[in-house]
Chains A and B, each alone.
Chain A
Amino acid sequence: MIMQMNGMLDAIPLGALFVATLVGALLSFEGGFWVGRRRGRQSEQEQEIVVRGLVGGMLGLEAFMLAFTFGAAASHFDSRRQALLDEANAIRTAYLRADLLPEPHRAEIRDLLREYVDVRLEGVRSGKIEQAIARSEELHKQLWLQATASRDKASTPAFAVQFIQSLNEIITMHTRRVTAGLEFRIPNIIWIVLYAITALAAASIGYHSGLTGRNRPLVALGIILAFSAVIYLIVDLDRPGQGFLQVSQRAMVDLQRNMSATNP
């Protein structure tokens, strides 16, 4: 596709996006209001009752679409959280199982795993995701070399197999975290549709207000604020590494502490 799939809105800071959404919706409202007031003067009061029903339908569609997109974004957020937890568990398992391997591989592998945890935490903290991914993948290779080398010396290959299984798990979790974080997003086309129906809904409320009176009802501002706030929330949920909603790194930090405690 010519179009980028995700991340259309990423360049805009969250606060600015909220203001832009609000201003866009208010402008649509004003446009609708202006058209409605001109119509109202031409004594088409009768259509008010028709318009009332239509605006209700429009708001219903808008509310449901926002709610479902919110649901999708919230479940992506949960899967990012889950991926972190699973990764911490996989690393801990591998760290424990490495204990069963012969030296020098045992010590070598444990050092590599400790560095691995540091790299993961540092990558999230500094935001240098690409660098952290590259370094993580180098560490995967070194860990794998250690694992295959330990196989040849092992008196009991069953332990080597066990360790290899947990190492595979670590590599799998790496891909899962990278994909869940960077690719499981709300696609651009859904954002385009959401913004289009938000503008249409705001314009319809504006038109209805224009038909019925000269003043802009305060409730209209209320509903536009509410929709903009929900859109803001969805963007925040959808954006990894920014905003109020971020996956807590606690499980990984705990793991880091445990690891250094067992290896003073």
Chain B
Amino acid sequence: MQLHGLLDALPLGALFVATLAVALLSFEGGFWVGRRSSTLPDQQQEKVVSRVVGGILGLLAFMVAFTFGVAASHFDARRQALLEEVNAIRTAYLRADLLQDPHRSEIRNLLREYVDVRLEGRRSGKIEEAIKRSEELQDQLWSQAVAARENASNSAFIGNFIQSLNEVINLHSKRVTAGLEVRIPMFIWLVIYAITMLAAASIGYHAGLIRSRRIPVVPALILAFSVVILLIVDLDRPLGGYLEVDQKAMNDLRNKMNAQTR
């Protein structure tokens, strides 16, 4: 969804402040309404309100925690996809060893460039460019594999290499999908923010009923929920923020590939 751009454009700090501000404003709004209502002598109402506030907080806690669970498992899936890709590239690189020159060295050069492109795309954040270049390299690798077939003495080794090349291509799509498309849908964010506002407003209403503004648990609660929402945003964001998938496995692979050619 393009709407993601909206949430992604905000830096994490600004988003945190905005979440806090929205919750506090909702609290104030609820407080104002609650204080006006409390002129009516209605003691029974307070018990009902207490239950309702408990319920809405429970709902919010559930929603936020489940979304956290989903975002954390997306994050794990991104880590997993990177690992699988590293393994597929290494396997293809090793198997290329069994092909004949010039295809052997040609393919190994292409695979080394492939790893560089993947790392560089990640570092610079120019994802679209890196995807495009990766797909070009895949085409070239494929042509090399097909060409190698024609002057090969032994087709078993080509078959073996082609298997691993298919794997590299599949994992490219998997990583792109896991990174850019498997996200928390914008609609879920709208619902979470709506429930947060409603919860803060009901707390405010309840506090307004008893005309007590100085309840230190209120800012504590708002802070706790805002921090967790911030964490979910960070987990959900493939680039930027504190949480990023560690590229160590890919870096190790590059070092190993370079060590072997020299």
Taking beta carbons and an 8 Å cutoff, which residues of A are in contact with B?
Answer: 1, 3, 5-6, 32, 35, 39, 44, 46-47, 49-58, 60-62, 64-65, 67-69, 71-72, 75-76, 137, 144, 148, 151, 157-158, 160-161, 164-165, 168, 171-172, 175-176, 179, 183-184, 187-190, 193, 196-197, 200-201, 203-204, 207-208
Most buried by A among B73, B156, B234: B156
- B231 in the interface (beta carbon within 8 A): yes
Could you list 27 A-B pairs, sorted by A, with CB under 8 Å?
A1-B242, A6-B246, A50-B50, A50-B212, A52-B50, A53-B54, A54-B217, A54-B218, A54-B221, A57-B57, A60-B58, A61-B64, A61-B224, A61-B225, A65-B65, A72-B76, A76-B76, A137-B256, A161-B160, A168-B95, A168-B164, A175-B87, A184-B76, A190-B72, A197-B224, A200-B221, A207-B217
B133 part of interface (Cβ distance < 8 Å): no
- Is B262 interfacial (CB-CB < 8 Å)? no
Number of interface residues of B (CB under 8 A): 60
Query: How far apart are the CA atoms of A113 and B217 in the complex, in Å?
Result: 61
Bound-state CA distance A65–B65 (Å) is: 6
Write the chain A residue with the least CB distance to B209: A50
Q: Which of A53, A151, A175 has the most CB of B within 10 A?
A: A53
* A35 near B234: Cβ-Cβ < 8 Å: no
Q: What mask results when residues 55 to 97 of chain B are scored 1 for a CB within 8 Å of chain A, else 0? A: 0011011101110110011001001000100110011001101
Query: Judging by beta carbons under 8 Å apart, are A189 and B90 in contact?
Result: no
- The interface residues of chain B lying within 8 Å CB-to-CB of A46 are 210, 212
The residue in B53, B61, B207 that gathers the most chain A C-beta atoms within 10 A of its C-beta is B61
**How many angstroms between the C-alpha atoms of A52 and B207 in the bound complex?**
12
- Other-chain contact of B65, A68, A148, A165 (Cβ < 8 Å): A68
Provide the main secondary structure of the chain A interface: helix
Q: Are B53 and A151 in contact (CB under 8 A)?
A: no
A86 to chain B minimum Cβ distance, whole angstroms, is: 12
B95 to chain A, nearest CB (A): 7
Interface residues of B in 201-260 (CB under 8 A from A): 203, 206-207, 210, 212, 214-218, 220-221, 223-225, 227-228, 231, 234, 242-244, 246, 248-249, 256
Q: For residues 139 through 180 of chain B, which have their beta carbon under 8 Å from a beta carbon of chain A?
A: 154, 156-157, 159-160, 164
* Proximity string of chain B (29-71) to chain A, C-beta cutoff 8 Å, 1 when within and 0 when not: 0000000000000000010001001100110111011101100
Q: Please, which residue of chain A has its CB at the minimum distance from the CB of B75?
A: A187
Known: A54-B218, A161-B159, A201-B224. 7 other contacts (CB 8 A): A5-B244, A57-B221, A64-B61, A164-B95, A165-B160, A183-B248, A207-B217
Question: Interface majority SS on B: helix, strand, loop or mixed?
Answer: helix
Whether the pair B231, A189 counts as a contact (CB closer than 8 A) is yes
Contact partners of A57 in chain B: CB under 8 A: 53-54, 57-58, 60-61, 199, 221
Q: How far is the CA of A1 from the CA of B239 in the complex (A)?
A: 11
Shortest 5 CB-CB distances between A and B: which pairs?
Answer: A57-B57, A64-B65, A60-B61, A68-B69, A172-B87
Which B residues are CB-close (under 8 A) to A39?
214
Identify B53's interface contact among A1, A53, A158, A201, CB under 8 A. Answer: A53
Tell me how far the C-beta of A7 lies from the nearest C-beta in chain B, rounded to whole angstroms: 11
Q: Does B18 contact A (CB under 8 A)?
A: no
Expressed in whole angstroms, the Cα–Cα distance for A126 and B103 within the complex equals 44
Set of chain B residues within 8 Å of A200, measured between Cβ atoms? 220-221, 223-224
Query: A68–B212 contact, CB under 8 A?
Result: no
Q: Are B220 and A204 in contact (CB under 8 A)?
A: yes
Flag if B210 contacts A47 (CB, 8 Å): yes
Does the CB pair A157–B207 fall under 8 Å? Answer: no
Quote the shortest CB–CB distance from A136 to chain B (angstroms): 13
CB-nearest residue of chain A relative to B92?
A168
CB atoms of B221 and A50 under 8 A apart: no
Kindly provide the distance from the CB of A6 to the nearest chain B CB, expressed in whole angstroms.
Answer: 8
| Docked-complex contact A164 and B64, CB < 8 angstroms | no
Which residues of chain A are near B244, meaning CB under 8 Å? 1, 5
The docked-state distance in angstroms from the alpha carbon of A189 to that of B16 is 15
- Report the bound CA distance from A188 to B220 in whole Å: 22
Which one of A47, A56, A184 contacts B57 once the chains associate, using CB atoms below 8 Å?
A56
Partner of A204, one of B50, B98, B217: B217
User: With contacts A71-B69, A72-B72, A179-B249 known, is A50 near B207, CB below 8 A?
Assistant: yes
Min CB–CB distance A185 → chain B (angstroms): 10
Chain B residues closer than 8 Å to A179, beta-carbon distance? 83, 249
CB distance from A24 to the nearest CB of B (A): 15
Q: Are the C-beta atoms of A168 and B83 separated by less than 8 Å?
A: no
Complex CA gap A71/B97 in Å reads 42
Partner of B94, one of A158, A168, A193: A168
